[in-house]
Amino acid sequence: MYKISLITGDGIGPEISESAISVLNTINDKFDLKFEITKLSAGDKALKDTGKALPDETISVIKQSDACLKAPVGESAADVIVVLRRMLDLYANIRPAKSYPHMPALRDDIDMVIVRENTEDLYTGKEFRVGDSAVALRIISKAASKRIAKYAFETAKQRNSKKKVTCVHKSNVMKITDGLFAKACTDVSKDYPEITFEEMYVDACAMNLIRQPQEFDVVVTTNLFGDILSDESSQVVGGLGMAPAANIGDSFALFEPVHGAAFDIAGQNIANPSSFLLSIKMMFDWLGAKHNDSKCFEVGRKLESTIFDLVKSGVKTKDIGGDMSTTEFTKQIVDNL
């Protein structure tokens, strides 16, 4: 029995959370894989109700669970996800970008993963004013850089793909900080002679994601660059609606859709839940690896193939030009599972 904590979030969060629960309940019923799901509050509504965007009770339940699923939250997102990343040392942000049928991808053969360092860089929020100037501290450490590089190479080893890692940085300008990151990645690459290793400046990478996205396999980069490039890679394959994400540490992981809370369509039952459901697939893979549970891998593959086949058949929710509601789309997934 796996204990799963589920932050239901804001906006469309509660709607797609119900989709996630329906899928997990179906897996409980049809496969020999059991989940206990605990719904939790965090985000704008939690802030209004309790005075905290991330209530103490929510933190306590998450820490006692095997993994966490998080629906999108609103304006208080930084007070939820950034805090959880640091508190639980979820140092690897994993963002797959893959072409799916009937989605406006640039090409149909794109299959990459962006591995983003999740704890350092400018996102530590160390900013201050000096007279009329504003200063931010950019912190890049050797330990964190080598740790994320190793994760990227291990990811490349496990993928049925090009077996290539691209280290993205800007060391020609930021010689000390990005120089350290680039050297750490180069040093780690020597332990993986079977993996092709290359370096690329971040501006060139941004261009090549448009020009030849099919050439990328695993991209490893710093926090800020990874934040930007992962959104770009999602758009290259058709948008955030099919974009899952994982925040992974050595002993815990949190999985979430990439898109926001979409308040403009909240409550209309038209939101595409695919990104959240694909995040569940990533959770299965992580649980399978952590607990040596082949059933998790099997169910994860089944879930992804079910979503793939459904969108291949032309079925879409209303928010992306289809005619199905969120609940109707979810029922199709459940029935096909």
Is 121 a known active-site residue?
no
The catalytic residue among 227, 281, 316, 319 is: 227
Give the span between the Cα atoms of 125 and 119, in whole angstroms: 11
Three-state secondary structure along 17-74?
Answer: HHHHHHHHHHHHHHCCCCEEEEEECCCHHHHHHHCCCCCHHHHHHHHCCCEEEECCCC
The catalytic residue among 49, 108, 203, 323 is: 203
- Catalogue the long-range contacts made by 237-240 (C-beta closer than 8 Å, 24 or more residues apart): 237/97, 237/98, 237/99, 237/100, 237/103, 237/105, 237/106, 237/110, 237/213, 238/99, 238/100, 238/103, 238/104, 238/105, 239/103, 239/104, 239/320, 240/275
The catalytic residue among 2, 123, 151, 192 is: 123
Is 123 a known active-site residue?
yes
Is 227 a known active-site residue?
yes
The DSSP annotation for 67-124 comes to: EEEE----TTGGGTHHHHHHHTT--EEEEEEE--TTS--S-S--EEEEEEE-S-BGGG
The catalytic residue among 70, 170, 281, 318 is: 170
The catalytic residue among 89, 231, 293, 309 is: 231
Which residues are the active-site residues?
A: 123, 170, 203, 227, 231
